[in-house]
Structure 1
Amino acid sequence: MNKEKVLQSVESKLKLIYKNDYKTEYMDLLSELISKWEKANWMPNDPVTQKNVYLITYGDSIYESGVPTLETLNKFLQEQVNGVITDVHLLPMFEYTSDDGFSVVDYRQIDKKLGDWNHIQSFAQDFRMMYDFVANHLSKSSSWFQGYLNDEEEYKDFFIPHDENFDYSKVIRPRTSPLFHEYKGKNGVKTAWTTFSEDQVDVNPKSFSMLKELTDVILLYANKGASSIRLDAIGFLWKVSGTSCMHLKETHEIIKLWRILLDYFKKDTQIITETNVPHKENISYLGDGTDEAHMVYQFALPPLVLHTMTTHDSSKLTRWAKTIDKVSETATYFNFLASHDGIGVRATEGILTDEERKVLVDKVVENGGRVSYKNNTDGTQSVYELNINYFDALVNQAEDQTLELKIKKMLAAHSILLSFVGVPAIYYNSLFGSTNDYKGLEESGINRRINREKFEFSFIKEALVSDERRSKVFNGLKALLQLRQAESAFSPYASQNVIDLGPAFFALERVNDQTGEKITFILNVTAKKNDVTVAIKGTNILNNEIIDGKVELEAYEFAWIKA
């Protein structure tokens, strides 16, 4: 798209965002911003293929004494997973005051404990990088919010004070804390909208000055090496009286505005939206498949895989998976099983019953995990997420008693992740075969810390060799990833056809229409040997076994059958 068309498209989006409040000066100011970034040096991105595998990690997940942690993490990944992990998702790497990075003090300032922009850009020469843009809220310690409290003209509309004429009755909350908090201002008490906590103050993009700043930040990230940008909690961005203040049209138009600019400056920079909500709302961020997000988090996958491996019944996963296919040639799903957050269950609404969700809740508690709740508009509370390491979440105490079976189950769960249409993302604690971090949980009192363990460089390097659980999970996942990367049928844009082989199996077919390659995935989701008759001939690329109509699989065993 040439500049003239870009400017026309940008103006169209601004008019849709601001409607009657639109002013021509908005377009003039954004044109100036575009001209500024046209003077910068832009490095091109490569398109996403089946070779892309994301690692979700903190910038200080691996550390050494006296060394910037970004340097240590880069060194470790180059030594251990170079060529297997292609994309590194660095969770918020900026100065922050709470929530393990998600209360950003300055969008443009790297946390000094991690390093600086030079370390980030050096990292980006070795791996494709994914940065977190916590666009919905800032730390109360940020200079912007302090300017708001001090009644500085520049920041007067940057945040959202309580309004007696605003109808808040339908606002959706992921937290049990108050929607508004009071703060001591220069000229008295000021209030501000706080979706997540007293320290995380929602920004106000209804102020064009704020939207311009946010737009400048996302272009900065792309220019500083981001191949992907994750829009954290983006669904809460725009607020309108009498609505849920979630997924509003203006929020979608802002994302589309950013897509236009990223496509112009650095095509194939992936916008990835993080909206932990029911599936239909989640996929709305894909737009028409070409004009909004490139990927959406596949939030239904983690709890549905857990449900399947817990009950040994794939029926619900199979039924849901039949509704999922390729999106377009440029949009797809960001698939994961574990992350820095817990296992969200909201995405299972309309898929699992309350009784089926309770089975997972009870199992998580039995296996040493925690449960987090959200407030409902009717004053009740309901389960929001399950806080537990995914390895521990999978274990059925009565039957998964050997380490061998637990490891097989972990790899089996990830075989679904690696076979499903989309791009796979693996959390660092899953890759390392970790279990619940009770020390982190108890020291912090924060449920999510149970799966945020961090490691000294020499310790984890040695543990991945000497610790049987860690070694077998780590090497098992690496081997699967390497096999997957060689097969074009696993392209994120290849089609998917789910095959119903009964509750004991989960199966699907991936077909790349461009290359003609086809792979059939079959997993035994039970803890005992099973066989199934299928109209398939080919070779199981996992062990080179010839398949001709019958597949026999041991407990938690799976096959990738290439025709």
Structure 2
Amino acid sequence: MKPTTEHLASLTQKVVHHLESIYASAPRQPDSAALADTLLRIMRLDEHCEQLQPSNSAWSERDIAVITYGDTLLADSEAPLSTLHRFLNAYLHDTINTVHILPFFPFCSDDGFAVIDYYQVNPKLGDWPHIQALAADYRLMADLVINHCSTSSTWFQNFINGRGYGHDYFYTASPNTNLSDVVRPRTSPLLRETETANGTQYVWCTFSHEQADLDFGNTAVLQEFVKIIRHYLDNGVRIFRLDAVAFLWKKLGTNCLNLPETHEVVRLIRTLIEHSCADAVIITETNLPNRENLSYFGNGNEAHSIYNFSLPPLLLNTLVTGNCRYLKQWLMSMPPAQNGTFYFNFIASHDGIGLRPAEGLLSEAEIASLISTMQQFGGQVSWRSGDNGTKRPYEINIALFDALQGTTKGKDAFGIERFVCAHAIMLALEGIPAFYMHSLLATGNDYPRFESTGQNRAINRHQWDYPSLTAALNDAQNHHHQVFERLKALVRIRQQQPAFHPNATQFTLHISDQLFGFWRQSMDRRQSIFCIYNVSDEPHSLLLSNLNLIVTDDWRDLISGQRYDDPMMDRIDIAPYQTLWITNRHVTEQAV
């Protein structure tokens, strides 16, 4: 609707406040009122402004996401985005409603995260009509690669030439500056020496020398990204993943990580996006220690959602050691998501299994043991620069299916059961679950791709020949088919349970180190689900009396259909890696 004069004035003042906070100590002080008017015009908020929805009304237990590259599935004579769309409609239309297509723009490196042109679709994938078609059938999530862009971009070439559009978009520093406190996710030199029309410049490169960091101290950069946001909204994007946003603001003499200005930029982006489209969501991608990651919720006024980065390494450690102690300790410490926010749960992604989010949660000895186990299963290790130039492990690069083929004792016969158990945990936790496409498909390590590219992350970025994939998924004897169908069956059960709403109550259970459990309760308190998982390779038993089930309710397992007639006396034998979802409200029952 068209905003009233009073509403527009209130929104303008809110944006002015954001801008004054962001640029309070910037060397170039903008006219905040004029800049606010410009941003509102770019977003067309002076013409149309939506009413914000009540908290938690924009998501439910039915929300399931899949994460994929645009060219994960390839078919002859077809744009990869069309192939992806065809696969989603044929195999996942009743399973997922959200698709995160990893950067689908022209790029020079890092599999899309060194963006050359934010306004174009990579022609090797398709074009904007393909994106719009996907957005018409699924809630579309896209990356806002906001910290850096490609050194092959027109902006950077204009920087070298010293003139033209975008020539002043990049952050530079003197090589004589003490930058030892700057936190890095890589081991390459921070500054890239670049010859320009204005002499030798040293460009800040948090990630690689093909990814030049942008200078948000220049308000023209902020305006550019607001234009990009508007462009994405116009093409159907409804979920914005703020890539590497923790590194956004630079201030010499600090670690340049999670600075107050960065948090205020996130708050500004949220204000602009949610008033432009009430059901739009921003998710921060901050691969950091747990407490730092949680800070991006702000006071319920920053990200609508954060990636639950500590879950993958802790869950992996749990399942390869057969001990849930550290996972349980972490879960007990996690605050419920505030009103209007939710956790984005994932256990595998296009990147590796991050180890920074395990800092303070696992000891260095435990991390070293986890790394050693993953290396036995074909995994690689990527490194970052630590304090005083030391090299520290940053992530483990491995396909999750191969990561869970055994334990610290070695490979065993429980790989599929362990893999399904991991996803059953993710599906039941507070938040919205997201499957990496290769986890849904039970894809293993791609050694040829890793060797041909020389990139550790390529091991988990396989490209499927579409006919080969469909043949595998239609073969009941194939492990790809077996895993795919079992995961889909779990999703169908989850989607019917009010107690699995992303914001439904959750409490951690204290059973044993081998039996991991938590309790979920629907927001109307009518349904309870006790989620119990044997995370070990040995059978264990559980007395139902330990769960304090209400004896007058009719309890049964949603997965197996098993009924428990005497919850005070029944003892359950739980097989290795078996999952139980014991409920008093039987919305659906389907064996997996």
TM-score range (shorter-chain normalised) is over 0.9
Which runs of structure 2 are paired with 1:148-187 in the superposition (5 Å)?
A: 148-152=159-163, 154-163=165-174, 166-187=177-198
Correspondence 1:307-386 to 2 at 5 A = 307-386=317-396
Q: Deviations over 1:160-198 (max 9, x none)?
A: 122257441200011010101122323443321011111
Alignment partners' CA distance in 2, 1:8 and 1:434: 51
* Corresponding letter in the other structure for 2:77: G
Conserved 8 A contact 2:42-2:230: no
1:171/1:377 contact within 8 Å kept: no
Question: Contact 1:488–1:515 (CA<8 Å) still a contact in 2?
Answer: no
The answer to whether 1:16 aligns with 2:21 is yes
The 2-side partners of 1:260 and 1:235 are apart by 18
- Could you list the per-position Cα deviations for residues 86-117 of structure 1 after superposition, in whole angstroms to 9, with x for gaps in the alignment? 10000000000001001000111110011111
Deviations 1:495-523 (A, max 9, x none): 21000101011100111223532211000
Kindly provide the amino acid, as one letter, of the partner of residue 396 in structure 1: G
Once the two structures are TM-superposed, the CA of residue 153 in structure 1 deviates from its matched residue by 6.0
SS in 2 for 1:115: coil
Aligned counterpart, 2:116: 105
State the distance in 2 between where 1:372 and 1:486 align.
40
Q: Is the 8 A contact 2:48 2:276 kept in 1?
A: no
Match of 1:539 among 550, 556, 562: 556
Separation in 1, partners of 2:49, 2:416: 44
Q: Distance in 2 between matches of 1:401 and 1:352?
A: 25
Alignment match, 2:102: 91
* Per-residue deviation, 1:157: 3.1
Contact 2:504–2:523 (Cα < 8 Å) also in 1:
yes
Deviations 1:441-476 (A, max 9, x none): 111110001100011211111111226210111001
Q: Residues 528 and 24 (structure 1 numbering): CA distance in 2 closer, same or farther, change over 3 Å?
A: closer
Structure 2 matches for 1:545-560, cutoff 5 A?
Answer: 545-547=562-564, 548-549=567-568, 550-560=571-581
Residues 509 and 67 (structure 1), Cα distance of their counterparts in 2 relative to 1, 3 Å cut = same
Question: What is the DSSP-based 3-state SS (H/G/I as helix, E as strand, rest coil) of the residue aligned with 1:450?
Answer: helix
> Structure 1 residue 505 and structure 2 residue 515: aligned?
yes
Q: State whether residues 56 and 426 of structure 1, in contact with CA within 8 Å, keep that contact through their aligned partners in structure 2.
A: yes
- Residue 37 of structure 1: CA displacement? 3.2
Q: Is 263-272 or 218-227 further displaced after alignment?
A: 218-227
Corresponding position of 1:450: 459
8 Å CA contact retained: 2:283, 2:307: yes
> Partner residue of 1:409?
418
| 1:142 and 2:148 aligned | no
Deviation string 1:102-138 (CA, Å, 9 cap, x unpaired) is: 1000111110011111110111011110001110000
Task: Describe the SS at the equivalent of 1:184.
Answer: strand
Q: How does 1:193-272 map to 2 (within 5 A)?
A: 193-272=204-283
RMSD across aligned positions (CA): 1.9
Letter in 1 for 2:110: D
Moved more, 211-220 or 79-88: 211-220
Q: Determine which of 478, 499, 505 is the counterpart of 1:489.
A: 499
Q: Distance in 1 between matches of 2:158 and 2:526?
A: 59
3-state SS of 1:500 partner: coil
Matching residue of 1:437: 446
Identity of aligned residues (%): 36
2:556 match: secondary structure: strand
**Residue 549 of structure 2 aligns to a residue in which SS?**
strand
TM-score (norm: length of structure 1): 0.96
Contact 1:26 1:208 in 2 (8 A): no
- Corresponding residue SS for 1:155: coil
Give distance in 1, aligned partners of 2:105 and 2:299: 33
Distance 1:42 1:74, change over 3 A: farther
Equivalent position SS for 2:333: coil
Partner in structure 2 of residue 7 of structure 1: 12
The farther-off stretch of 545-554 and 516-525 is 545-554
Q: Structure 1 counterpart of 2:504, which letter?
A: A
Q: Tell whether the 8 Å contact from 2:556 to 2:582 is kept in structure 1 after alignment.
A: yes
> How far does residue 330 in structure 1 lie from its aligned partner after superposition?
1.3
Aligned mates of 1:154, 1:141 — CA distance in 2? 14
Distance 2:30 2:355 in 1: 44
Would the aligned equivalents of 1:325 and 1:495 in 2 still touch at CA under 8 Å?
A: no
Please state how far the C-alpha of 1:392 moved relative to its aligned partner.
1.0
Residues 238 and 434 of structure 1, relative CA distance in 2, 3 Å threshold: same
Q: Tell me by how many angstroms 1:34 deviates.
A: 1.9
The secondary structure found in structure 2 opposite 1:191 is: strand
SS at match of 2:76: coil
- The structure 1 residue matched to 2:87, chosen from 76, 86, 97, is 76
Partners in 2 of 1:90 and 1:500 — Cα distance? Answer: 38
Distance apart, 1:85 and its partner CA: 0.9
Report if the CA contact (8 A) 1:229-1:272 is conserved: yes
CA contact (8 A) 2:518 2:531 kept: yes
SS at match of 1:378: helix
Q: Closer, same or farther in 2 for the Cα pair 1:187/1:399, shift >3 Å?
A: closer
Distance 1:282 1:20, change over 3 A: closer
| Partner residue in 2 for 1:420 | 429
CA distance in 1, matches of 2:59, 2:9: 28
For residues 105 and 539 of structure 1, what CA distance do their matches in structure 2 show? 54
Task: Tell whether the 8 Å contact from 2:157 to 2:167 is kept in structure 1 after alignment.
Answer: no
SS of the residue 1:169 aligns to: coil
Give, in angstroms, the shift of residue 23 of structure 1: 4.6
Q: Which residue of 2 aligns with 1:287?
A: 298
Deviation at 1:295, TM superposition (A): 0.8
Question: Aligned-pair distance for 1:483?
Answer: 0.4
Q: Of 125, 133, 142, which aligns to 1:114?
A: 125
SS at match of 1:93: coil
Structure 1 residue 214, shift from structure 2 partner: 1.2
By how many angstroms is 1:30 displaced?
3.7
Aligned 8 A contact 1:326 1:492 in 2: no
In structure 2, the gaps of 5 or more residues are 585-592
TM-score (norm. length: structure 2): 0.91
Distance in 2 of aligned mates of 1:65 and 1:251: 44
Q: Tell me the matched-pair count.
A: 560
198 and 555 in structure 1: CA distance in 2 versus 1, 3 angstrom threshold: same
Tell me which amino acid in the other structure corresponds to 1:128.
R
